[in-house]
Amino acid sequence: MEEKEIRKEKIKNWLKDNYNLAFLGLIIFTIILRFYYFVLTKNQPLWWDEADYLAYAKNLAGLGVSWIVTTKHNSLFPFLAAAMFKIGFGETAIKFLFQFIPAVLSVVLVYLISNEMYKDKRMGLISAFLMAVLWDHIFNTTRFHVDIPALFTGLFAIYIFWKGYENKEKIFGKINPQWALPLTVIFVMLTYMIRRGYFLFGVFIFAHLVFTKNWKSLIKDKSSWISLILVIGLFLISENLIFNSQIEGVAQGYFHKENPIDFSPLKVFAAYFSFGTILSSITLYLFWIGFIILLWRLILTFGHIKKDKISRANLFNILIIIITLAFFIYILRTPDTFGEPRWYYPLIFSSFICFSHSILLISDYLKKHNKAFAVIFLVLVVILAGYYQVKTGDAVVKNKIDSFTGMREAGLLLKEISNEDDLILTLGMPQVEYYSEKKTVHAREWVKDDPESIAHFASSLISLKDNPNIKYILVSFSEPGYPDWMKRIVQSNGGVIAWEIPFMETKIDFAGQKQDIKESRKYGGITFNLVAIKQDVFVYEIIYS
């Protein structure tokens, strides 16, 4: 039989399995769902952090932008985006390659890893479905955030580790298992290069080895030494060629040992799975039940971990959750906040596993009494969980589509009307530089006086005379932190009642439905002329005489 015929026969046999058909249907659903939001958001404006990455990518690609990525956003991602810019790709293509595709493949990996660990396709399908519908994952797929590609490479590392190193099977049916650990290291380090905080994937695997392997056998294994050399080599490459700030400097910005231990990171599970009511929060309750089940089963079989594959899988998933939470609770210690859900993506796979364990335990119990009722229960709970996830994701995505439209339109306008050497005084600097392809000056920090004082304005006027290349001022009511002389937001009872631009004597009174917008204002030899208003952004030209 020819190879082509053998391949066709394998596909036919694969499709005869109902679980495989369900998985295929899930992937089609994932692609359609993600593609809908991809098309919906492909032209949305960039946020500050997105522009931080992409403005630097334009710089690396030599596209007339001089922006240097900030310390906290050091990543391999701008280099990859720069390569795409260099060969002529635009935002849409970059988002498709580095957000859409990794998001879809992450669903595939969740299914594959779950099957490798537990050999139960039901668990793989349920876990992968939660990955497909997770509201925060849907939302971040539409943004240029590095969490999506970093999660993909982290999951890839886990898959290779479990398939080759734990189960001793050929990776993708071709790669010898003896290369599993070095390959795992490569993908762990790639994850680190994309998002430094996801070094946790390496910690998970190392901690698992500590608990399950004999150190003498590890030392004798040449793949362990190859892996160690790879870790050192790739770490040095990333620190010297990719990142513009050393790891210790970045760590100091996040590590707050002076703060008390704070348990706010535990709120992340509610952020993922709870939507306000008992019915809509059923995923959260089932997650905690599953976590307790996994922990209890691990305790009962702890003495057999090295011999029992299921126990090792349970250990690995418990370690993922505990290590991630410990990192945020005991090391970062950010007070009174858990941050953003995407920061905790390293633990979402194990969170899905906990949910799957609990719902399958209940379903299997019900099956003993009534098989049809067990199936109905399982399907209804999964559909209900998915409904609230997609509903929330849909609302968040659509609510944020027009965010910072004014910044984009103002930046594009300045790109057209400004000269090559012109400077722009503003905040939201990476966004402005990305769209205008002109250098910016930080409106708050360019003179030494207190930005909230009257002296800051006087000093700014003097500095403007000394810096005649500053030809435009851009004031955005989307961006916080402007000096008091540039922008004020008047609030009452928690709501905004007026916008003020003091140096132009301009005021928009929302409460009184009045506006007083000055077209021009002169201070000595400096004149400020209003050029345009783009949504919530005011663009002024500076004329020196």
Beta bridge partners of 154: none
**What does the pLDDT read at residue 536?**
94
Work out the mean pLDDT of the chain and round it to a whole number.
92
Share of the chain above pLDDT 70, in %: 98
**Long-range contacts, 459-462 (Cβ 8 Å, 24+):** 460/485, 461/523, 461/524, 461/526
> Per-residue pLDDT for 82 more than 80?
yes
Provide mean pLDDT across the span 343-364: 96
Q: Which amino acid is at 312?
A: R
> Per-residue pLDDT for 5 more than 80?
no
Question: 28-64 pLDDT, tens per residue?
Answer: 999 999 999 999 999 999 999 999 999 999 999 999 8
**What does the pLDDT read at residue 118?**
95
Provide mean pLDDT across the span 240-257: 73
Q: Residue holding tokens 């944020």?
A: 400
* Size (the chain), residues: 545
Nearest Cα residue to 82 out of 70, 71, 98: 98
pTM equals 0.93
- Going by pLDDT thresholds of 50, 70 and 90, the confidence category of residue 72 is confident
d(CA 23, CA 241): 41
Beta bridge partners of 516: 507
Provide mean pLDDT across the span 513-538: 94
Residues 6+ apart with CB under 8 A from 19: 121, 122, 125
Residue 412 structure tokens? 């594009």
Find the helix or strand (DSSP H, E) in which 542 lies: strand 537-544
> Per-residue pLDDT for 152 more than 80?
yes
- Going by pLDDT thresholds of 50, 70 and 90, the confidence category of residue 10 is confident
- 423-426 vs 526-534, strand pairing mode: unpaired
- Going by pLDDT thresholds of 50, 70 and 90, the confidence category of residue 249 is low
Residue 206 C-alpha from the chain's centroid: 24
**Long-range contacts, 305-308 (Cβ 8 Å, 24+):** 305/211, 305/212, 306/212, 306/213
Question: 88-133 pLDDT, tens per residue?
Answer: 999 999 999 999 999 999 999 999 999 999 999 999 999 999 999 9
Provide mean pLDDT across the span 363-380: 91
d(CA 38, CA 163): 32
Question: 155-182 pLDDT, tens per residue?
Answer: 999 999 999 999 999 998 889 999 999 9
Question: 211-229 pLDDT, tens per residue?
Answer: 998 888 888 889 999 999 9
Kindly list the domain boundaries of the chain, sorted by start residue: 146-247, 405-544
**What does the pLDDT read at residue 261?**
85
Say if CB 413 and CB 532 are below 8 A apart: yes
Find the helix or strand (DSSP H, E) in which 527 lies: strand 526-534
